[in-house]
Structure 1
Amino acid sequence: MLAALALLLASSDPVAPVPLFRDPVHDGAADASTVYDAATREWVLFYTNRRADLKLTDPKDVSWVHGTAIGVARSKDGAAWRYGGTAAIPASCTGATLWAPEVQRFGDTWHMWLTVVPGVFKDWNAPRFLVHLTSRDLKTWECGERLDLGSDRVIDASVVALPGGGYRLWFNDERAGKAIRYADSPDLKRWTVKGTAVSTPGEGPKAFRWKRRWWLISDAWKGLLVQSSTDATNWTAQPGHLLGEAGTRPTDRAKAQHPDVIVAGERAYLIYFVHQSGEGAADPNWARRSLLQIAELKEEGGAIRVDRSAPVTVRLKPN
């Protein structure tokens, strides 16, 4: 009996900790993008490494979200994550501030789309653009092209391969009222803007295929907006917002922001970042701190639901 119990425990799926990951350098992990590295048999998570610990006297000074590198974390099982330093992003084609990595593998090459701000600014009034990089090993990155999307204020890429060929990119166009727009490409280099997927303001779109349909989840600043589609072009929004109300678990007491989604067969997991504004620390700047949480997505009647308080049993498989 004891041997059988030990075998069962050894083979059971791990339960994710709360929080899933906390950056050990600046305590400002945000904007995750997660992939499976078959070469090392590990899950690799790239994230914006916000400088939440930066001491500033002016509360309106947002230098702490500038001057940011891209952090890296690794995991064998998707539950226990270890810090892996910062990504080796070439300075020659980027800038002082790096945000919101989007990492995907197409063919035998890894691709990253990165939001770049060319400097460190005290306010939000700076140009920003998307840069494409490539890698063979997820460690050494090479410069690609700067994307021309008809605006000098674009952020937050999400890219998929379309079933009929070609690729689609969703992004936030800040000059278009923070709308989520989309563009198509035959080769991941030349992009043509096609239209708007979400006209209401938001950011951080994440597009994915699951349960025989397309989904697009974006950060509406009052929780996550969920849309579904049969063709990745025409979208229907489900009522309300996911995780707009504060959670009850320690470190999870604020709205969810900027989602990533891992599809693992019939299961799907949402990775989101959450500010620590609900934790009540004596440090007046504690609310800047942000960390990553995980929740399992459930599909019911064509809509996505999630219980952020439920323990998450992680069963990740490489796609």
Structure 2
Amino acid sequence: MNAPLFRDPMYDGAADPVLIWNRDEQSWWMIYTNRRATQEGQKFGWVYGTDLGVASSADDGATWLYRGTLEGLETEWGRNTFWAPEIIWNEGLYHMFVTYVFGVPKDWSGKALIRHYTSPNLISWQFESTLDISEHNVIDACVYRLPNGVFRMWFKERNHTYAADSVDLYNWKRIGPVITDVKHEGPNVFHFKGYYWLIIDEWMGQGVYRSADLEHWERQGRILDQPGTREEDGTIANHADVVVQGEQAYIFYFTHPGRMNGFDDGSYSCRRSSIQVARLDVLDGMLTCDRNEDFQLKLLPES
């Protein structure tokens, strides 16, 4: 498998990937936070003012071609910030829930909200609403449909995972905290080999929780917390997305290759990031991931 899987050729800061099957193109799309790693400036300004980058694969995920950025998302004047998209397909529309920050702050003081957009084709987007689910900053939406048909959204609030429910993807009702035992961000929920799984970005690898009912979560330790041996994969794995196809599951994550052994001097070499992929498995009821495994990524078409 190619390593790294993808680097953004414009700003070299691809992060927070989400994978979605493009039904019009009949190809896989990767949509990601297009961090401006090449941008010099004050403090953390390079992680703001970001568009959503797009890469596509015509060979089942083996190689990726940069295509540009999503347009038409702005609803107010100026340069604003888009982070960590979540995109699902439902009843003829793509629904995107994306973190939105007003303007381009230079530190972590920006007000973060989650916005809802819809599209028939992943290109033309219509703004639907800003979700009223918290009085605090909220980021990193993940949406999964419960067995009863209700959609649940997990998101980061005050360094923990909270949740909200919706019957139609448009109107959301807050249901409160879900994971509060450790500080984290980037929740992601999926079903694989008989269990529901919730992974979180603990800034020291991916924390893992298991559930039988999507309500009660049991801590299972961490994956991707030890450096890998592949090119650009020698640091912890950050903010991940998982694609499950039958007996196969793949985790897509990003690394900061220059931040070896926790070193970060704020330079370009420490800002830039790479997208990687690894295969997941379940052994004795535990989610496992060998990031050094040599495997062939083969993403199948989806209906």
Counterpart AA for 2:69: T
- Residue 50 of structure 2 corresponds to 68
Q: How big is each residue's C-alpha offset from its partner over 1:263-293, in whole Å with a ceiling of 9 and x where there is no partner?
A: 1111000000000224699994311101100
SS where residue 75 of structure 2 aligns? helix
* Structure 2 unmatched ranges of 5 or more: none
Q: How big is each residue's C-alpha offset from its partner over 1:158-205, in whole Å with a ceiling of 9 and x where there is no partner?
A: 00112211100000002xxx1101111111111111122210211011
User: Which residue of 18, 22, 29 maps to 2:3?
Assistant: 18
Q: 1:283 to 1:128 in 2, by over 3 A?
A: closer
Asked whether 1:51 is paired with 2:32, we answer: no
User: Which residue of 192, 198, 207 maps to 2:179?
Assistant: 198
SS where residue 238 of structure 1 aligns? strand
- Residue 167 of structure 2 corresponds to 186
Counterpart AA for 1:137: N
Counterpart AA for 2:111: P
- Residue 242 of structure 1 corresponds to 223
User: Which residue of 66, 87, 95 maps to 1:111?
Assistant: 95
User: Which residue of 123, 126, 131 maps to 2:115?
Assistant: 131
Does structure 1 retain, via aligned residues, the 8 Å contact 2:27–2:301?
Answer: no
CA apart distance, 1:104? 0.5
SS where residue 92 of structure 1 aligns? coil
User: Which residue of 138, 148, 156 maps to 1:154?
Assistant: 138
Does structure 1 retain, via aligned residues, the 8 Å contact 2:23–2:121?
Answer: no
CA apart distance, 1:106? 1.0
The number of aligned residues is: 297
CA apart distance, 1:219? 0.2
- Residue 312 of structure 1 corresponds to 295
Asked whether 1:36 is paired with 2:24, we answer: no
Counterpart AA for 2:164: A
Q: 1:282 to 1:227 in 2, by over 3 A?
A: closer
State the alpha-carbon separation in 2 of the partners of residues 93 and 141 from structure 1.
15
Q: How big is each residue's C-alpha offset from its partner over 1:125-178, in whole Å with a ceiling of 9 and x where there is no partner?
A: 11100000000001111001110112230000000112211100000002xxx1
Q: How big is each residue's C-alpha offset from its partner over 1:25-73, in whole Å with a ceiling of 9 and x where there is no partner?
A: 00000000101122211001100000001113x5xx1000000000000
SS where residue 132 of structure 2 aligns? coil
User: Which residue of 83, 88, 93 maps to 1:99?
Assistant: 83
CA apart distance, 1:302? 1.1
Asked whether 1:287 is paired with 2:275, we answer: no
SS where residue 64 of structure 1 aligns? helix
State the alpha-carbon separation in 1 of the partners of residues 239 and 86 from structure 2.
12
Identity %: 39
- Residue 13 of structure 1 corresponds to none
- Residue 81 of structure 1 corresponds to 64
State the alpha-carbon separation in 2 of the partners of residues 284 and 191 from structure 1.
41
Does structure 2 retain, via aligned residues, the 8 Å contact 1:103–1:112?
Answer: yes
Does structure 2 retain, via aligned residues, the 8 Å contact 1:46–1:72?
Answer: yes
Counterpart AA for 2:167: P
CA apart distance, 1:233? 1.1
SS where residue 223 of structure 2 aligns? coil
CA apart distance, 1:247? 1.6
Counterpart AA for 1:261: V
- Residue 238 of structure 2 corresponds to 257
Higher Cα radius of gyration = 1
* Structure 1 unmatched ranges of 5 or more: 1-15
Q: 1:281 to 1:221 in 2, by over 3 A?
A: closer
CA apart distance, 1:89? 3.6
State the Cα RMSD in Å: 1.8
State the alpha-carbon separation in 2 of the partners of residues 64 and 257 from structure 1.
17
- Residue 126 of structure 2 corresponds to 142
